[in-house]
Amino acid sequence: MIDPNTFQFLKDLEKNNNKEWFQDHRKWYDDSKSNFIEFSSEVLEGLKLIQPDLLNTDIKKCILRINRDIRFSKDKRPYKNYFGAGFGPGGKSSGRIDFYFQIQAHDQSMLGGGMWSPSSENLAKFRQEIDYNPQDLKTLIENKDFRKYFNEIEGQRLKTKPKGYDLNHPEIELLRYKELFFLRRFKETEVCQKNFDQTIIKGCKLLKPYQDYLNALFFDDF
């Protein structure tokens, strides 16, 4: 389970986001990271039961680095204020549509997944599928249990219509999405509960049909 002390580390890091403080508190970071890895490992073991292509995935390959890439950013804070993990075949860099989980202070921990920042080719495939056969997607994302769990719909949208589609298209609201992913945020008290890993695994089970839909659409070898 996630130790409240791990959240306290993230809160203090947020206030002291500099290399000097980080090095002075290196053991605290190591302990907090180990706690997150241990919890994420429990999640991964549960996911292997529902997604066989995760069987040979090493949990360490799933964990995001805490260092920020500041080369082209005006924000020069060196560290992320959260711990994150991407669960895909081989780890976080699978290239597929995977599950994403992070813990963050101020009740911003979350589980999510879906179509985020797709290539122009994949976005075209997504819109074409909506045009030809919208019901398959709508059945997945309008499912009662799915929407009860994933109560946030995210993604950039066009203000008008995408090129090549009529403004009066019956699915114009779906066609406007340039991204379409779903999130569930959790309070710190929820994350620190004993069986919280089961809550995350439940969410992944609900999200999996949508993930599979996208992977089958985007990747010929899926």
Q: 34 lies in a domain?
A: yes
Q: Which domain holds residue 185?
A: 4-214
- Smallest CA-to-CA distance from 196 within 13, 30, 53, 42 is with 42
Mean pLDDT of the 91-96 span: 95
Tokens of 128: 């074409």
Tell me what pLDDT residue 221 has: 82
The answer to the question of residue 22 being in a domain is yes
Token output for 149: 């769990």
Task: Examine residue 9 and state whether it is found in any structural domain, yes or no.
Answer: yes
220: in domain:
no
- pLDDT confidence of residue 222: 81
Average pLDDT over residues 88-116: 96
For residue 73, is pLDDT > 90?
no
Higher local confidence (pLDDT), 74 or 102 = 102
* pLDDT recorded at residue 217: 97
Residue 163 belongs to a domain? yes
Return the pLDDT at 177: 97
**Mean of pLDDT values over 211-218:** 97
Q: pTM of this prediction?
A: 0.94
DSSP helix/strand/coil, 154: strand
Task: Please report, rounded to a whole number, the percentage of residues in the chain having pLDDT higher than 90.
Answer: 95
pLDDT in tens, 9-68: 999 999 999 999 999 999 999 999 999 999 999 999 999 999 999 999 999 999 999 999
Q: 187-204: per-residue pLDDT in tens?
A: 999 999 999 999 999 999
Q: What is the rounded average pLDDT of the residues 102-130?
A: 97
The pair of three-digit structure tokens given for residue 120, joined into one six-digit string: 């122009």
Which residue in the block uniquely carries the two structure tokens 């994302």?
Answer: 141
What is residue 11's predicted lDDT score, i.e. its pLDDT? 98
pLDDT tens digits for range 141-195: 999 999 999 988 899 999 999 999 999 999 999 999 999 999 999 999 999 999 9
pLDDT for residue 72: 87
Q: Which helix (H) or strand (E) holds 116?
A: none
Strands (E), 22-98: 82-87
Tally of domains in the chain:
1
